[in-house]
Chain A
Amino acid sequence: MKIGKTMWMELKNRWKGFLLFILVVVLLVGGFVQAYPSFSEAFEDELEGSENIDIEVLEDRKNVTVKLSWKEIVDAENYSILVSESANMMAPLDRVDGVENTSHNCSLKYDEKEGFPERYFAVVAVIDEDEKELVGMGMNFERTSPFQEIWGVDYGDIQGFLSILWSTWWILLIGLYIGYISVNLITKDYEEERMDVLLSKPISRRQYLLEKFSIVSLYTLALLVLVGLVLVASAYSLGELNSVSSSALMISSVLSWPVFLVVISISVLAGVYLESSRKAVGVSFIFILIQYGVNMVGDLTEGLEYLKTYTIINYWNYEAALYGEAVSAYDVGFLLVLSAVLIVSALVIFDRKDIPV
């Protein structure tokens, strides 16, 4: 009959903070999704005049030979070839001037001992002393987008882009705030000296703790539904709803709930046990940052992928959800069970605890 009163009280006490964070998340999520078109372009970016150049790479045991041929420019006296490690050609590594106009091709040799030379080449036609013209640029390797290189995203689609956002900082942003709130729901009652009175009323300690857990869990769920809606709205505004379905966007967000339930449970447990906001927030943040860090290392380091299996984030397959694939019920179940075990531990500890003055 008195269920929900404590939840209602916490909502009354914290609604400003709750609302402010919702606003921050909505603005950030909505804002970042607007960066998708530039992300997408990074995959399509072609080198200037690449159609005018042919590059052939010949490898024998000792050398790598790069054979360049290009479209003839009628007015050209001769050609200059610039070689660089980056496409901007600011500081060419090599320069071959005076290639005869009649040949419009050139071979460059590299010692293979130094490893395969990934190079950008620019061919410049010298028309006279004052006039030069870029014939075109090319490269002797398969170019990948920086996103592809770092994050292993295969396509420049919106799903890949959202995966990067989730894995880089949305998890961290929401996780840290939720952890902080969960700790404070408990420790502030100790620190602001109201625990004695609250627990002197005829409600059980279990009910008290479960209501605290529920309010932050429900808040998180509401937040994730809202994030899902913002994703749908953003995809709509970018005209991307034909490449990703609204339901996939919603599921990708809402199904992260079990991950955050584990964060909430750990934080509540830390709050109950440590009694101090500072210490318990420390534990909660360290837990989240370690999870995040280990997951990141596993993501980016070849051979260390197995580390990811030790993080809770790994049990939330947002990529699968975004591509409309089935999300493993086993993974979701594992997170729910883990969260339940943690919260039951908190209940057992709290039930027998001496409430500090």
Chain B
Amino acid sequence: MENEVVMKIRGLTKKYGDVVGIKDLDLDVYKGEIMGFLGPNGAGKTTTIRTCLGLLQKTSGDVKIFGLDSHEDSIEIRKRTGYLPGDFGMYPDLKVKSILRYLLSQSGVSDESKMKGLAERLELDLSRKYGNLSKGNKQKVGLVQAFMADQDLIIMDEPTSGLDPLMQQKCYELLREEKEKGKTIFMSSHILAEVEEVCDRVAIIRNAELQVVEEIESLKEKMGKKLEIEFENSVDPSIFAMEGVEDFEMDGRKATMIVTSNLDEVIKKISKQNVINMSLETFSLEQLFLTYYSGGGKG
């Protein structure tokens, strides 16, 4: 079924005393997609993820995963959900293999083939003690345990944290493969390029509130170009009131606008005026994200 909703979040609010962790969040994550969850530090990404997994009690709202209640049916949900927390730790004195076997058995899975395959791909030595691993290798253990039980939904909090660029690429590859197999992935990140590279859709939160949910492709289309023109004389702003021109601002004889379409029409209007200076700059997705981060973006 197309657009089957795996995670359905409605009005989710989590408060820590007076501090609001996440406020009135509505979000759907569809089957088979990679949903990026983006926002500056402290925006509420981890709080959202941990509330959905039942690790935090919700203050209000409703979270359904596979149609089941996140808190009432959390054991059923966890049977079908892999999770990589933002801060992953394990028993320092035990060998990686022993730890992964234990976690796998806790998920009710006895087949170790995926675990071994993942470890091999990520070049993780299973015979070493967890406590002796570098930060990057510890993160690999986290990644392996998140994927090894072959569950339907994988929730990850900053999955590539601590990985070197080569391993980051392997991780993206892994994410795409899982997606190909029909798995749903919900991952938080603060690396904009990462989201751009692997995610189908992105939800951006800031100050505990959702700013936008958009497909990466349509965001790219929306990106447009930033146009700055300095005219010799002041011009009537209304001449730029047309489709495809957004965020128009006039400061004396200087105009700035975002042109998403109709560039030809805009140039024609400009050509009728005396222009002193002009710059046209393509907006990167990163800049777009940053406008949302700083609260300037529009949904």
**Chain A residues close to B by CB (< 8 Å):** 1-2, 5-6, 8-9, 12-13, 192-194, 196-204, 352-355, 357
Contact = CB atoms under 8 A, between A and B. Distances in A.
A357 to B, nearest CB: 6
A199 B89 CA distance: 13
A201 B107 contact: yes
Nearest to A204: B75
A337 B247 CA distance: 70
Nearest to A188: B91
Contact of A1 (B50, B76, B102, B108): B108
Interface of B: 16, 46, 50, 53, 55-57, 75-76, 78-79, 81, 83, 85-94, 98, 102-103, 105-108, 142, 145
7 contacts: A8-B102, A13-B91, A196-B55, A196-B88, A197-B85, A197-B88, A200-B55
A204 B79 CA distance: 11
| CB-CB nearest 6 A-B residue pairs | A193-B89, A201-B106, A200-B83, A196-B85, A202-B78, A202-B79
A217 to B, nearest CB: 21
Nearest to A194: B89
A204 B103 CA distance: 14
B148 to A, nearest CB: 12
Contacts of B56: 354-355
B88 A192 contact: no
Of B46, B75, B142, B145, which is in contact with the most chain A CB atoms at under 10 Å from its CB?
A: B75
A200 to B, nearest CB: 4
Contacts of A5: 102, 105-106
B53 A200 contact: yes
B57 to A, nearest CB: 6
Contacts, number: 79
Given A5-B102, A5-B106, A9-B102, A203 B55 contact: no
Nearest to B78: A202
Contact of B83 (A9, A192, A197, A203): A197
B108 A202 contact: yes
A129 to B, nearest CB: 78
A306 B98 CA distance: 52
B229 to A, nearest CB: 49
Contacts of B89: 192-194, 197
A357 B98 contact: no
A3 to B, nearest CB: 11
Contacts of A192: 89-92
Contact of B106 (A193, A202, A354, A357): A202
Contacts of B103: 197, 201
A193 B88 CA distance: 6
Nearest to A201: B106
Nearest to B56: A354
Contact of B57 (A2, A198, A354, A357): A354
Nearest to B86: A357
Contact of A357 (B46, B78, B79, B94): B46
A9 B91 contact: yes
A197 B102 contact: no
Given A196-B50, A196-B85, 12 more contacts: A2-B106, A6-B106, A8-B102, A192-B90, A196-B55, A197-B83, A197-B89, A197-B90, A202-B76, A202-B79, A203-B106, A354-B16
B75 A203 contact: yes
Contacts of B98: 12
Nearest to B93: A13
Contact of A197 (B79, B105, B145): B145
A201 B78 contact: yes
A357 B41 CA distance: 15
Nearest to B47: A357
A352 to B, nearest CB: 6
B58 to A, nearest CB: 10
Contacts of A200: 53, 55, 78, 81, 83, 85
Contacts of B57: 352-354
Contacts of B50: 196, 355, 357
Given A201-B78, A201-B103, A357 B93 contact: no
Contacts of A352: 57
B139 to A, nearest CB: 12
Nearest to B87: A193
Contacts of A6: 106
Contacts of A354: 16, 55-57
B92 to A, nearest CB: 7
Contact of B55 (A193, A202, A355): A355
B83 A2 contact: no
A201 B81 CA distance: 8
A204 B16 CA distance: 24
Nearest to B131: A192
A203 B75 CA distance: 6
